[in-house]
Amino acid sequence: MTKINLAIALSLLTFFGVFLHPFSTVQAINLTSAKDTLQSSRLSVHARVDSTGTTTDSSNVKILTTEGADSAGDTANTLSTANLRPGDTLKIGSSADGYYTIIGIFDATNFTVSPVLVAGDTDNTDPIYFESRPQHVITFSTATAVPNGFFQILLPADTATPNDGDADDQGYDFNTTVTVTGTDVGSTYDFVTGVATASGGVGCTAPANYHCFEAHYSGLGGIGQAITITIGNTNGATTPIAPATTPSHTEGTADTYSVLIKNFAALANPNTDTPIDFSTGKVAHIEAVRVTATVDPTISFSIAGVAAAQTRCGVSTSVTTTAVAVPFGTMALNTFKNAAHLLTVSTNGTAGYVVTTSENDQLGKDGGTTPFIIDSLGNGGAMTESASAEWTTTTINGFGFSLENVDAATVPFQYTTATGNCTGTFCARQFADLQATETVQTIMSSTTVADAEATNVCYRLGVGATQAAGDYENQIIYTATGRF
């Protein structure tokens, strides 16, 4: 077997704890360009409950800040929340209900979970497990054409509990069942279903304390052929559990483990026979970097005037409005005047926003309560603050409004809404009259974040010969509320 020296520096490509690990310098190395690309380099967690801050029927969990045996007798070395994040599923304690989801990280030793903790999961030194299950993608190039042989991948295993389904501090836990898949390369490497064996099992006794994964193939093999072998799947169900922190682990410094890759001839016994080619290298596991930021809740709301002679709600505006005024001016008898405002809302409220409207009173002479211009009842007399009605007859006097949605998520009606008492020409409603104790009404809303959602409010006013002369006014109130 030809011996060469190949130096490949261990490099870490990090993004939220995702790493690519080429192999380090070793002697007598044959398989080239070998690496184990991990789906995630995130360490598993094995911590212990501190009962001084963890109680039954509460949601807070406190971690002991010293290494030691948990209540099951296994060593736990994780001493902080550094490698945890909201959304993680944890196994805590020993009860049948011991699975919880993190909903918040409070500080270096405290976090909160859902559902609340049950009896049996809050005793001092009870285990806390988070299991990182990254898929392994092993790639390398062959050095020798080995016909009808097999590749063996070995991952380090714990000496005590290598296959109990919990994260270990000396290597990977086998997780009961693991899938192994080799990628076919034409007729030279035609892979069959892989074989996975836990440490100490048949076919995996030498070297000791390794899990063995075999990918058998038919074909003549080849020299310099790129090979890919996948261990586990991306959802973690049939994937080895990554190691938890080692004793005296330093946060931010990776724990490293050896990985062996071997190419055997057909019918070889991997426990006793010498591989044709092999490679030895290292993989590294480290805490994921938890990035935190606070975004303050915000909402912006604006009222913009609309110029005269603009088409809004299907009609031409009669006057120019400003952000704070609708100056209808002198009214001709039995003639509509129309005006409009553009309402715009933005919010980062996760449940969106709601904009409501009302009037302080009907339009009163000199702002008083009597005489007043009535809120219109519409063509058929059925218009209210909550019920739309068609309003196109100029001899039906009063004050009201309609809506023309621009891009708001939801509006209760529009001028074209042909339902009930509306034919869809100009459907309108009254403003809710606070003086008459009417309920304020929603005119636009959303159930999620919103970026400059807008709606046109179209005002209409008409007066008849019996309306007393004078100046009339009231106040329209718009309220925008973010839902966070």
Q: Which residue is listed with tokens 């045996």?
A: 69
Domain assignment present for residue 292? The answer is no
CATH number at residue 157: 2.60.40
Q: Which of 300, 343, 328, 307 is nearest to 477 (CA)?
A: 343
Is residue 297 within 8 A of residue 481, CB to CB? The reply is no
> Half-sphere exposure of residue 184, counting CA atoms within 13 Å on the CB side?
8
Residue 178 lies in a domain: yes
Q: What secondary structure letter does DSSP report for 52?
A: G
Tens-digit pLDDT profile for residues 295-325: 899 999 999 999 999 999 999 999 999 999 9
| Of 175-179, 243-247, 457-461, minimum mean pLDDT range | 175-179
Task: Please state, in angstroms and rounded to a whole number, the distance separating the CA atoms of residues 483 and 297.
Answer: 9
pLDDT at 5: 31
Of 78, 113, 130, which residue constitutes the final position of a domain? 130
| Cis-peptide, bond into residue 115, ω within 30° of zero | yes
Return the minimum-mean-pLDDT range out of 177-191, 193-207, 375-389.
Answer: 193-207
How many independent structural domains does the chain possess?
A: 3
Can you give the pLDDT at residue 291?
A: 79
Does 470 map to a domain?
A: yes
User: Can you tell me the distance from the alpha carbon of 242 to that of 157, in angstroms, rounded to the nearest whole number?
Assistant: 10
| C-alpha dihedral (399, 372, 363, 405), degrees to nearest 10 | -10
Q: How far is CA 309 from the centre of its chain?
A: 47
Find out whether 441 and 468 touch, Cβ atoms under 8 Å.
Answer: no
- Point out the domain boundary residue: 130, 146, 171: 130
Contact between 153 and 231 (Cβ < 8 Å): yes
Of the residues 70, 105, 130, the one at which a domain ends: 130
Q: Is residue 111 domain-shared with residue 153, that is, in the same domain?
A: no
**Tokens standing for 133?**
């299950």
Strands 180-182 and 226-231: antiparallel
Q: What are the tens digits of pLDDT across the range 221-277?
A: 999 999 999 999 999 999 999 999 999 899 999 999 999 999 999 999 999 999 999
Q: Is the pLDDT of residue 15 over 80?
A: no
Q: 16-51: per-residue pLDDT in tens? A: 333 333 333 333 468 999 999 999 999 999 999 999
Q: Which residue has the tokens 């809302």?
A: 345
CA angle 82–85–86, rounded 5-degree value: 150
The residue-averaged pLDDT of 150-168 equals 94
Q: Give residue 205's domain range.
A: 4-42+133-285
How does the average pLDDT of the chain come out, rounded? 91
Q: Are residues 389 and 439 located together in one domain of the fold? A: yes
| Co-location of 202 and 244 in the same domain | yes
